[in-house]
C-alpha cells in the first residue's frame, strides 16, 4: 500500500485541499481529507489533481497527418484522401511504433484510457494477415507499452458508400460481410487493461441489411459509430433509405446506453430525441470537427434530452482533452451567441467518469474508494493556470496538456514532468519513418 497526500484534488464534484489517498493493487483503498491521524511515509503530490481522462474517440494513425493536412483549402472529403495515403503505408510494425508514440503523447496529456476506433484490419490489397487481428493486436501492444488502457473498438466497414463496394485502400478495411467481421473480431482474446468493443464505421460503410449482425455481435459491449458528421452523409442516407442515419440506427437496434454516437453534428429534432431517449452517449471531438470544418453539434440539447457527453481527440490535430472540454462550451457560445451552457464540473465529468463508462470502464474516472487509481496532476503556477483559483474552472477553462506534471494509471506512475522531450523524439522518429 502506498499513501499519497494530494495538495488539491477534485473529489465528489468539488475541489478540496489536502486529500489523502491510499493505493493498493491498482485501486484506491482509502480516500479522505487529510484531517486526522498522520500517515507515515506519505508521498506528497503538489498541484491540482483530477481523475484520469478518457479519450473516447481516437484514430491513432491520423497522428501522422498533423501539420500536413492543414495546408491549403478543402473539405472533409479532400482531407480523407490525404488520410487514405497514410493508411496505405502502414504495416503492423509501423502501426505499433506510431500508435505507441501517439499513445505516449496521450498519457503525457493526462489520458489514462483510449477508445481506439480501429478499421485498418488487413494487408493493403485486402488479404488477411496470417494472424487475422495482427493490426488490432499491434494497437493493444502499443497501449500496453505506452502505459494506458485501451478499448479496442473493432470496426465493421463494408462499403465505400451507399451501394458501392470498397475502393482502393478501403479494401484493407473490409471483411466482406458483417458475419465475417464478427468471426474475426471474436478471435480477440481477453487481456489486462483491454476492453474489446465494436464499431459501425458509419451508415454509409455498413449497409442496412448488415447492421443487425454488428449489433448482435456487440451485445453487452461498447458499440461506437460515426454519426451525421457530414451533411452529405445525411443526404445519402435519405436517398438510399428514406430516413436519417439516426433513425436507421434506431430501427436496427443500435442505440442504447452502451452505444456512443461520435460527432452527432447534423441532427434533426427527432434524431436528438432518439439519442436522448435511448441514453446513447454523444462523443464530441471539437478540435477535429473544427479542423475538418464539420460544423457544431447540439451538445447541450443532447445532454438535456438524456445523452451523456464524452469527448475525444479523433484525428489528433491536437491531443489535449482540456481543450476539447472547453471547446464544447465555447463552440456552443459561437453557435448561439450566448455564454454559460456547460459548467466546468459537467465538462470534467464528461472527460473522466462518463468517458470511461462509455468505453467499458465504469470503475475509472473518479477518485473514489474501490475505483481504479488514476491520478492526473496539474501545475497550478504555470503561465496558463496562475491566478485562476486552482479549482475545476482552472482545469477546464485555463489548463492545457502542457500543464500535466504527473500521471498515474492503475496505481503506477507512467509519466512525470520532463518526459515530454523523449516523447517528442519518439513521435518524430515514428512519423519520419512513415513518410520516407
User: Which candidate in 314, 320, 331, 379 is catalytic?
Assistant: 314
Q: What is the pLDDT of residue 74?
A: 73
- Kindly give, in sequence order, each residue whose CB lies less than 8 Å from that of residue 211, ignoring residues fewer than 6 positions away: 178, 200, 203, 248, 249, 252, 254
Rg (CA), the chain: 21
pTM: 0.96
User: What are the distances in angstroms from CA 92 to CA 113, 126, 139, 313, 369?
Assistant: 22, 14, 9, 23, 39
DSSP single-letter state for residue 319: -
Task: State the helix-helix crossing angle for 92-108 and 420-435, rounded to 10 degrees.
Answer: 150
Angstrom distance (rounded) from CA 265 to CA 407: 32
Q: Is 401 left (phi over 0), alpha (psi -120 to 50) or beta?
A: alpha
Identify any residues that bridge with 16 across adjacent strands, giving them in sequence order. Answer: 9
Give the 3-state secondary structure of residue 153: strand
Q: What is the pLDDT of residue 83?
A: 82
Cα–Cα nearest to 175, from 196, 158, 159: 158
Give the 3-state secondary structure of residue 432: helix
Q: What is the pLDDT of residue 38?
A: 67
Q: What is the pLDDT of residue 36?
A: 67
Angstrom distance (rounded) from CA 404 to CA 47: 10
User: Which candidate in 59, 201, 224, 263 is catalytic?
Assistant: 263
Cα–Cα nearest to 370, from 320, 425, 411, 317: 411
Q: What angle do CA 371, 376, 380 make, to 5 degrees?
A: 140
Query: Is-catalytic flag, 391?
Result: no
Please write down the long-range contacts of 337-341, taking CB distance under 8 Å and 24 or more positions apart: 341/299, 341/300
Identify any residues that bridge with 15 across adjacent strands, giving them in sequence order. Answer: 10
Q: What is the pLDDT of residue 77?
A: 67
Query: Is-catalytic flag, 341?
Result: no
pLDDT in tens, the chain (436 residues): 899 999 999 999 999 999 999 999 999 999 999 886 667 789 999 999 999 999 999 999 999 888 776 666 777 767 777 888 888 889 999 999 999 999 999 999 999 999 999 999 999 999 999 999 999 999 999 999 999 999 999 999 999 999 999 999 999 999 999 999 999 999 999 999 999 999 999 999 999 999 999 999 999 999 999 999 999 999 999 999 999 999 999 999 999 999 999 999 999 999 999 999 999 999 999 999 998 899 999 999 999 999 999 999 999 999 999 999 999 999 999 999 999 999 999 999 999 999 999 999 999 999 999 999 999 999 999 999 999 999 999 999 999 999 999 999 999 999 998 888 899 999 999 998 888 8
Amino acid at each position: 500500500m502506498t499513501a499519497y497526500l494530494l495538495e488539491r484534488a477534485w473529489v465528489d464534484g468539488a475541489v478540496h485541499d489536502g486529500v489523502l489517498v491510499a493505493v493498493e493493487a491498482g485501486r484506491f483503498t482509502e480516500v479522505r481529507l487529510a484531517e486526522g491521524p498522520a500517515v507515515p511515509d506519505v508521498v506528497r503530490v503538489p498541484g491540482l489533481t483530477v481523475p484520469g481522462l478518457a479519450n473516447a474517440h481516437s484514430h491513432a494513425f491520423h497522428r501522422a497527418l498533423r501539420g500536413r493536412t492543414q495546408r491549403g483549402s478543402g473539405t472533409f472529403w479532400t482531407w480523407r484522401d490525404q488520410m487514405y495515403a497514410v493508411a496505405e503505408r502502414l504495416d503492423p510494425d509501423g502501426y505499433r511504433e506510431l500508435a505507441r508514440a501517439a499513445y505516449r503523447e496521450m498519457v503525457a496529456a493526462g489520458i489514462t484510457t483510449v477508445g481506439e476506433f480501429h478499421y485498418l484490419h488487413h494487408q493493403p490489397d485486402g488479404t488477411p494477415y496470417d494472424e487475422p487481428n495482427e493490426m488490432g493486436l499491434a494497437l493493444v501492444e502499443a497501449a500496453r507499452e505506452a502505459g494506458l488502457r485501451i478499448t479496442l473498438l473493432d470496426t465493421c466497414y463494408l462499403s465505400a458508400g451507399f451501394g458501392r463496394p470498397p475502393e482502393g485502400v478501403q479494401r484493407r478495411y473490409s471483411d466482406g460481410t458483417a458475419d465475417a467481421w464478427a468471426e474475426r473480431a471474436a478471435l480477440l482474446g481477453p487481456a489486462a487493461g483491454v476492453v474489446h468493443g465494436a464499431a459501425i464505421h458509419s451508415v454509409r460503410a455498413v449497409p442496412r441489411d448488415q447492421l443487425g449482425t454488428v449489433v448482435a455481435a456487440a451485445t453487452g459491449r461498447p458499440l461506437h459509430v460515426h454519426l451525421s458528421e457530414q451533411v452529405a452523409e445525411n443526404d445519402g442516407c435519405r436517398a438510399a433509405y428514406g430516413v436519417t442515419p439516426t433513425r436507421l440506427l434506431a430501427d436496427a437496434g443500435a442505440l442504447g446506453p452502451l452505444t456512443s454516437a461520435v460527432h452527432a453534428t447534423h441532427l434533426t429534432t427527432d434524431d436528438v430525441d432518439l439519442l436522448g431517449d435511448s441514453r446513447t452517449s454523444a462523443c464530441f471531438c471539437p478540435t477535429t470537427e473544427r479542423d475538418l470544418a464539420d460544423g457544431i453539434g447540439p451538445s447541450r440539447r443532447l445532454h438535456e434530452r438524456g445523452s451523456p457527453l464524452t469527448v475525444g481527440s479523433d484525428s489528433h490535430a491536437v491531443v489535449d482533452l482540456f481543450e476539447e472540454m472547453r471547446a464544447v462550451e465555447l463552440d456552443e457560445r459561437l453557435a448561439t451567441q450566448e455564454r454559460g451552457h456547460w459548467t466546468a464540473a459537467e465538462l470534467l465529468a464528461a472527460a473522466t467518469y462518463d468517458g470511461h463508462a462509455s468505453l467499458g470502464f465504469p470503475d475509472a474516472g473518479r477518485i473514489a474508494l474501490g475505483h481504479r487509481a488514476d491520478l492526473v496532476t496539474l501545475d497550478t503556477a504555470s503561465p496558463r493556470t496562475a491566478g485562476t483559483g486552482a479549482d475545476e474552472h482552472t482545469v477546464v477553462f485555463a489548463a492545457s496538456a502542457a500543464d500535466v506534471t504527473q500521471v498515474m494509471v492503475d496505481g503506477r506512475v507512467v509519466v512525470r514532468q520532463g518526459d515530454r522531450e523523449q516523447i517528442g523524439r519518439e513521435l518524430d522518429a515514428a512519423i519520419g519513418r512513415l513518410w520516407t
